[in-house]
A and B are shown apart, each in its own frame.
Chain A
Amino acid sequence: MAAAAEFDVQYVAHLARLNLSETEQQKLGEQLRGILAYVEKLSEVDVSGVEPTAHAVPLTNVVRPDVAQPSLTNAEALRNAPAKANGLFIVPKIVE
């Protein structure tokens, strides 16, 4: 298992699109190194030949007929938008 010491908070925060202050980075780094050291205990377990469990339901590939059904109206979908105009979400400029 990977060593907890390699853990780079700043890099992971970037992957998670999460701004952290320097104080937060320091505190989180310390706490997470502790938690990662704790979860290292899983490396003791012999998992050879064991299938992973993604969920505990005896179901696979639940599908429904490909038929359009009523869903939220445009106004309902935009109701909670932080910025909107002309029936659309407003976002910062993406393409120059």
Chain B
Amino acid sequence: MLNELTLSQLTHTLARREASARDAMQACLDRIARVDGAVKAFLSYDAPDALAQADAADRAIAAGADFRRQPLLGVPIAVKDVLAVKDQPLNCASKILGNFRSPYDATVIEKLRAAGAIVFGRLNMDEFAMGSSTENSAFQTTRNPWDTSRIPGGSSGGSAAAVAAHECLASLGSDTGGSIRQPASLCGCVGLKPTYGRVSRYGLVAFASSLDQIGPFTKDVCDAATLLEVLSGVDPRDSTSVPQPVPHYAGALTGDIKGLKLGVPKEYMIPGIDPAVDAAVRAALRHFESLGAEIVEISLPHTDYAVATYYIVATAEASANLARFDGIRYGARVEGTDPVALYANTRGQGFGPEVKRRIILGTYVLSSGYYDAYYLRAQKVRTLIRRDFLQAFEKVDAIVTPTTPTPAFKIGEKSEDPLQMYLSDIFTISCNLAGIPGLSLPCGFTNPKLGTGNSKLPIGLQLLGQPFGEATLLNLAHTYEQTTAWHREKPKLNP
């Protein structure tokens, strides 16, 4: 089954002419037709356009295209509904965008196309990337392929579920407080949030501009390295992209991590961590030791303030960014007697409850009289959180934590309690505040005979690195992965 291959396995197959890109694309479309009724990862997809791109890739291969120059040639890659793909719908899983179609390609989409990828599909998400379960989508709740009564995580839940269910070879998501790493962890795939500034965000609908990054979901670490290399680089259309050379990330996967120092923050060993998660992470630490790494206890003293800091900074930025959805220039419109009434009617009907909650919170913390007490103070605490990490990286090469405190929870379990939902992001949020890279990879499963309602659910390990230290993270993750078997497990979807 071509759709079950990794990205690098597929390109080798295509290069040897053992299958065509059309076969690969068709295998993904067949898989979607079979399982997406149960998984609900895709909001829509344009099959004729995807097959036409596959045919173009096959012609390029027949004409002798070079896979070293086009490392994604003929590879079906699906995209979160927050990235602009020319002439395709763009809804951010919200009603407010109506029948919007993108007038241009995001920079990352241009880069995927230049590398030969087949870019297809609109993957479900929490509305405007606000949430941790995809339950905030205005259209559908995506299901976890390992147990369809559970959430896939969020906000990039569709991106994680589609890769885990082998509906595509890889996907793109965005991560503002864990929205790539948390769903990757809960669905058992690899998810990478690059350093802030590593990847251009031109064509990404902004949620919180000082935190957002685009990154890949893949079936193994080598594929994440290949995709990161394609996606990275400075872009004149995004002034926050950093002119830092792009290394050959796949070349950094040496399998040798002897002597590397891994920090374990004592503040992350909190009560409330699921025993299965705790055991899997401790076993992973012992495994790293057996591979020659050194485990060091470190301290990140301001950890306890990260969630509060995040929910002030992120909502403040969101309230400003989402002001553009006003019913004037694009999207849905609800009429009003004057422009202000039109804005308020359009936004009142177009946004869902979580987006409204965050716009109100963000507007409040920026409003006159409260700015210093909330927003400015949060920005100062952010400095202390970032400083904690930079000081830790003077002693260690990377930091290891659980990605999430618990495995995937049940649909509906936390949707009525926003604060509990926010606290499920406790291990992923600091990384965005500090602007550093983070990666989640599978490190075990819950035992279906114990707890978790007889489900075998993936557990994720998070690796955090120095700014622009992705190569080290990828090598650590790859070395761990290639000496364990977790990434080879597949969910049993039998709809």
Q: Is the CB of B419 within 8 A of A59?
A: no
Q: Bin chain B's interface residue count.
A: 35 or more
Nearest B residue (CB) for A55:
B210
CB distance from B323 to the nearest CB of A (A): 8
Given contacts A32-B360, A35-B361, contact A18 B348 (CB under 8 A): yes
CB distance from B431 to the nearest CB of A (A): 10
Contacts of B236 in A (CB 8 A): 64
Q: Could you jot down 22 A-B contacts, CB within 8 Å?
A: A2-B374, A12-B363, A13-B360, A18-B344, A41-B308, A42-B312, A42-B378, A45-B302, A52-B382, A53-B382, A55-B196, A55-B209, A56-B196, A57-B242, A62-B240, A64-B236, A72-B104, A79-B103, A80-B101, A81-B329, A82-B327, A89-B329
Which of A20, A42, A93 meets B308, CB within 8 Å? A42
Which of A12, A43, A82, A94 meets B360, CB within 8 Å? A12
Q: Which of A27-85 contact B (CB under 8 A)?
A: 28, 31-32, 34-36, 38-39, 41-45, 47, 50-59, 62, 64, 72, 76-77, 79-83
Q: Bin chain A's interface residue count.
A: 35 or more
Additional 14 contacts, C-beta under 8 A, given A18-B359, A53-B382 = A12-B364, A17-B340, A32-B357, A35-B422, A36-B361, A39-B308, A51-B383, A56-B436, A59-B197, A59-B239, A80-B98, A80-B329, A82-B330, A89-B329
Which of A28, A51, A72, A82 meets B380, CB within 8 Å? A51
The reply on B394 being an interface residue by CB < 8 A is no
Contacts of B240 in A (CB 8 A): 55, 57, 59, 62
Q: Is the CB of B435 within 8 A of A55?
A: yes
Q: Is the CB of A18 within 8 A of B360?
A: yes
Given contacts A2-B369, A92-B342, contact A59 B242 (CB under 8 A): yes
Q: Hey, what's the 0/1 contact readout for B329-349 against A, CB within 8 Å counting as 1?
A: 111110111111111110111
Q: Is the CB of A42 within 8 A of B357?
A: no
Contacts of B363 in A (CB 8 A): 12, 15-16
Q: Which of B230-286 contact A (CB under 8 A)?
A: 236, 239-240, 242
Q: Is the CB of B377 within 8 A of A80?
A: no
Docked pose: A35 CA to B144 CA in angstroms = 28
Which of B99, B360, B380, B434 meets A16, CB within 8 Å? B360
CB distance from B241 to the nearest CB of A (A): 9
CB distance from B236 to the nearest CB of A (A): 6
Interface residues of A (CB under 8 A from B): 1-2, 7, 9, 12-21, 24, 28, 31-32, 34-36, 38-39, 41-45, 47, 50-59, 62, 64, 72, 76-77, 79-83, 89, 91-94
CB distance from A37 to the nearest CB of B (A): 9
Q: Hey, what's the 0/1 contact readout for B351-372 against A, CB within 8 Å counting as 1?
A: 1010011011101100101100
Contacts of A64 in B (CB 8 A): 236
Docked pose: A24 CA to B347 CA in angstroms = 13
Docked pose: A83 CA to B435 CA in angstroms = 40
Contacts of B103 in A (CB 8 A): 72, 76-77, 79-80
